[in-house]
Amino acid sequence: MTDTVPAVDASKPVVARFCPSPTGNPHVGMARTALFSWAFARHHGGKFVFRIEDTDASRDNQESYDLLVDVMRWLGLDWDEGVEVGGDHGPYRQSERMDVYADVAQRLLDAGLAYKAYDTADELEERREAARAEGRPSGYDGLHRDLTPEQQAAYEAEGRKPVIRFKMPAKDWTFDDLVRGPITFGADNVQDFVIVRANGQPLYTLTNPTDDALMGITHVLRGEDILSSTPRQIALYEAFAQIGVGDGSTPRFGHLPYVMGQGNRKLSKRDPESNLLGYREQGFLPEGLLNYLALLGWSLPAVDGVERDVFGLAELVEAFEVSRVNPNPARFDLAKCEAINGDHIRLLPVEEVAERLLPYFQTAELIGTPADDAQVALLAAAAPLVHERIAKLTEAVDMLRFLFVDDDDFTIDEADAAKNLDEKGQGTARAARDALAELETWDTASIEAALRASLVDGLGLKPRLAFGPVRVAVTGSRISPPLFESLELLGRSRTLARLSAVL
Ligand code: GLU
């Protein structure tokens, strides 16, 4: 996409924001929005504000708020102003700003830019039906726009509670979307809309522009699903300029593409692959997940015609031009997400892989909390065995369980035992045990030499048949890290005991 107007006004520092609602578990779509807003702010050396849209007490909850803060910290998307860190424009939870919205709504009423509407739900529905039947636009028809004080008093006397509606100026709305270029909404498509419910609850169409104006937000990147509310938001900014809320300017908007899941459907919050916490539980690295999320609508510019999918956050920030965001729907591909995460694991020094693995081993109760030094050292020694083989950190827990598990808890996969530890396999295990019992030096090279001599040369077995029974007896599974190194780490007495146990 080419911009008709540059995305950033050089004379005005960028202030971007992320303002999720704390309902349910944080999801992938949210994280993508947060990442793009953050990367945009960082790319332009601007500020990133993290605000919480918790105006709906019936849906929002503290647990969900805590998770959002937690997951933003885990991802490393730091914010300059916002919840938990504070700033000059707080508070940053909308539930703590209700007086601000009430004040702005009142000023809009006083200025004649908004009005109280007393229509009941039934009345609205009836008129909507009629409009549809006649092929007229079915939004609010403006019936209560110009009620006299007497008419209002009469409705109040009936006990009706009014909503507050914003008076939409009758004109077409055109704005230059940062992702999609110029977009126009015809006057007929945007009617007067509710900014405050009859129970006094302000809606996000009021609270977000209010906060964006008061917090000096210059750029709003958000999901395409709320594109249709943008003309309303822009109309509010124009009204704010008249009543002195904010500095009178309107932020630039950019709408990020939909993310499609399986079967060409929009990825829903309820799809399992949407659950952000699940990625942390499975052992995705934050940098791996962010790298993949960046690809949902964006890509690193090719260098000499070569495209590169794997990059770090610093490279992302350096290259993040919002004009490169692709307006077409992005496809979520879990296999690719895992592959990219695996690449990031391999990019880490092995010592760091060990450090990142530790909490997963503790969660699996294979290492205690606090961890004892010998177990930390064992993990450091074992990390090289899995470094090249895993796409997620929890895979290492499965592969290395045999090293950490108490001997009483050690189990062998039944199917693998049936295939590998039949009578012939047991004979192989016995020969292996006898050869290893004789070994003077317990290291990888000596273990390998002894097993080759006894099983391949001695019994005349092909290597795969020779080592399978040993592997299953000692590690509990046919799928495990390299065998000889594994035995070295497990130690002589535990290795011999496990080989004896299957006989
Ligand atoms: N809470 C809204 C959302 O996550 C944000 C609305 C906005 O960005 O203005 O979709």
Q: Which atom of ligand 1 is nearest to the CA of 233?
A: 9
**With the CA atoms of 440, 445, 447 and 449 taken in that order, what torsion angle do they form, in degrees rounded to the nearest 10?**
-100
Last residue of a domain, one of 198, 233, 256: 256
Helix (H, G, I), strand (E, B) or coil at 352: helix
Q: Which of 269, 392, 424, 462 is catalytic?
A: 269
**Per-residue pLDDT tens for 169-200?**
999 999 999 999 999 999 988 899 999 999 99
The rounded Å distance from CA 226 to ligand 1 centre is: 8
- Residue 153 sits in a domain whose CATH number is 3.90.800.10
Residues in the chain: 503
**Per-residue pLDDT tens for 237-265?**
999 999 999 999 999 999 999 999 988 89
Helix (H, G, I), strand (E, B) or coil at 493: helix
Give yes or no for residue 226 CB within 6 A of ligand 1. Answer: yes
**Per-residue pLDDT tens for 130-152?**
999 998 888 899 999 999 999 99
Q: Which atom of ligand 1 is nearest to the CA of 33?
A: 4
Residue 280 lies in a domain: no
Least confident of 28-32, 261-265, 385-389: 261-265
Give yes or no for residue 53 CB within 6 A of ligand 1. Answer: yes
How many C-beta neighbours within 10 Å does residue 441 have?
9
Phi, psi of 254 (to 5 degrees): -135, 130
Q: Quick one: 367 and 456 in the same domain?
A: no
Residue 79 lies in a domain: no
**With the CA atoms of 421, 426, 430 and 432 taken in that order, what torsion angle do they form, in degrees rounded to the nearest 10?**
-40
| Rounded percentage of the chain residues whose pLDDT exceeds 70 | 99
**Can you give the residue range of the structural domain that contains 445?**
406-501
Q: Ligand 1 test: best mutation among 21, 203, 215, 237, most atoms within 8 Å of CB?
A: 21
Residue 482 lies in a domain: yes
Give dist(CA 370, CA 398) in Å, integer: 21
Q: Quick one: 394 and 438 in the same domain?
A: no
Phi, psi of 322 (to 5 degrees): -65, -25
494 token code pair: 């535990």
327 token code pair: 């307006």
Give dist(CA 236, CA 103) in Å, integer: 14
Q: Quick one: 370 and 467 in the same domain?
A: no
What average pLDDT does range 57-66 have in this prediction? 91
Give yes or no for residue 208 CB within 6 A of ligand 1. Answer: yes
The rounded Å distance from CA 37 to ligand 1 centre is: 12
Look up 269 and say whether it is catalytic: yes
Last residue of a domain, one of 226, 256, 286: 256
Q: Which atom of ligand 1 is nearest to the CA of 226?
A: 10
**Per-residue pLDDT tens for 420-464?**
999 999 999 999 999 999 999 999 999 999 999 999 999 999 998
The rounded Å distance from CA 73 to ligand 1 centre is: 20
Q: Quick one: 390 and 418 in the same domain?
A: no
Give yes or no for residue 19 CB within 6 A of ligand 1. Answer: yes
330-331 and 259-260 as β-strands: parallel, antiparallel, unpaired? parallel
Q: Quick one: 362 and 242 in the same domain?
A: no
Alpha carbon nearest to ligand 1 atom 8, residue: 222
The rounded Å distance from CA 441 to ligand 1 centre is: 64
Residue 258: DSSP 8-state: P
Mean pLDDT of the chain: 95
The rounded Å distance from CA 253 to ligand 1 centre is: 12
Q: Quick one: 383 and 477 in the same domain?
A: no
Q: Quick one: 107 and 238 in the same domain?
A: yes
The pTM of this model reads: 0.94
Residue where the block lists tokens 């799928």: 479
Q: Which atom of ligand 1 is nearest to the CA of 21?
A: 1
pLDDT, position 2? 47
How many C-beta neighbours within 10 Å does residue 235 have?
23
Preceding amide of 91 cis, omega within 30: yes
Give dist(CA 444, CA 264) in Å, integer: 50
